[in-house]
Amino acid sequence: QKEVEQNSGPLSVPEGAIASLNCTYSDRGSQSFFWYRQYSGKSPELIMSIYSNGDKEDGRFTAQLNKASQYVSLLIRDSQPSDSATYLCADYSGNTPLVFGKGTRLSVIA
Amino acid sequence: GAVVSQHPSWVICKSGTSVKIECRSLDFQATTMFWYRQFPKQSLMLMATSNEGSKATYEQGVEKDKFLINHASLTLSTLTVTSAHPEDSSFYICSAAGQGATEAFFGQGTRLTVV
């Protein structure tokens, strides 16, 4: 059974710093990875998707994928208090269910 | 991204009654829908996967007779919580994917409180 592991945190960073969130996955054959942000009481919202080894940048967010190490990370530059949320890493293969990590709680301190 | 609408956003019901939650894909055909449940401070847990026109596949530990899932069309799936009890109080979220899709899209979630 697929597993996705994340450090539950909380991860506290000062405003303006870089927040680094990490995730490992068990299925070596997995192809697609996603980072979701979830505010308390809300549904997850997709921030980044990554399918190839290397880095993918979108604004203040950079996703990194290393398939050899089965490792996915999300960097948030210039962290803002509004970035405080739980970040979920997910593994997806076609029409099979998204497999989520437990999420990392990020707190950005002003 | 594609839009998935979930209704209602929140519902309070009495213990022993049934509650139906709807999940609609508004601008694409959802061949597969996933239903998740999330208890406070916990991660999303998959309850079941449904393919249009087929019976849902339930995860281990999820009672199929209690959580009835219907996916009769390519744009609508419903989850009915039958004979709800306070321990069923949770945040229920649907997610939908089209054929060959590379990602799934979430509904807004339904906060169910059973009193």
pLDDT in tens, B38-70: 998 788 888 998 888 888 999 999 999 999 999
Rounded Cα distance between B80 and B66, Å, is 8
A98 touches B: beta carbon within 8 Å: yes
Q: What is the pLDDT, as a whole number, of residue B88?
A: 96
A12 or A102: which leads in pLDDT: A12
B46 touches A: beta carbon within 8 Å: yes
Residue B94: pLDDT above 70? yes
- Chain-chain contact of A43 with B111 (C-beta, under 8 angstroms): no
- Chain-chain contact of A100 with B43 (C-beta, under 8 angstroms): yes
Q: What is the pLDDT, as a whole number, of residue A104?
A: 92
∠ CA B21-B27-B32, rounded to 5°: 55
Q: Which of B46, B91, B100 sits opposite A97 (nearest CB)?
A: B46
* List of chain A residues whose C-beta atoms are within 8 Å of the C-beta of residue B93: 43-44
Cβ neighbours for B35, distance < 8 A, ≥ 6 positions apart: B23, B46, B47, B48, B49, B50, B56, B67, B69, B77, B79, B92, B93, B94, B95
Averaged over B10-24, what is the pLDDT? Answer: 96
Averaged over A87-93, what is the pLDDT? Answer: 85
Q: What is the pLDDT, as a whole number, of residue A41?
A: 83
Residue B10: pLDDT above 90? yes
Q: What is the pLDDT, as a whole number, of residue B42?
A: 82
Residue A16: pLDDT above 60? yes
A73 min Cα distance to partner chain B (Å): 18
Per residue in A24-58, pLDDT tens? 998 888 888 999 999 988 888 889 999 999 999 99
Q: What is the pLDDT, as a whole number, of residue B1?
A: 64
In sequence order, the β-bridge partners of residue B45 are B37
Q: Which of A43, A96, A103 sits opposite B43 (nearest CB)?
A: A103
C-alpha count within 13 angstroms, C-beta hemisphere, residue B34:
22
Most confident by average pLDDT, A20-29, A74-83, B26-35: A74-83
A87 touches B: beta carbon within 8 Å: no
A99 min Cα distance to partner chain B (Å): 8
Residue B21: pLDDT above 70? yes
Whole-number mean pLDDT of chain B? 90
User: A81 pLDDT band (50/70/90 cuts)?
Assistant: very high
Q: What is the pLDDT, as a whole number, of residue A27?
A: 84
Interface test with A, best of B39, B44, B45 (most A CBs within 10 A): B44
Q: What is the pLDDT, as a whole number, of residue A94?
A: 60
* List of chain A residues whose C-beta atoms are within 8 Å of the C-beta of residue B34: 97-98
B69 touches A: beta carbon within 8 Å: no
B33 touches A: beta carbon within 8 Å: no
Residue B83: pLDDT above 70? yes
B12 or B98: which leads in pLDDT: B12
* List of chain A residues whose C-beta atoms are within 8 Å of the C-beta of residue B32: 95
Rounded Cα distance between A33 and A101, Å, is 11
User: A106 pLDDT band (50/70/90 cuts)?
Assistant: very high
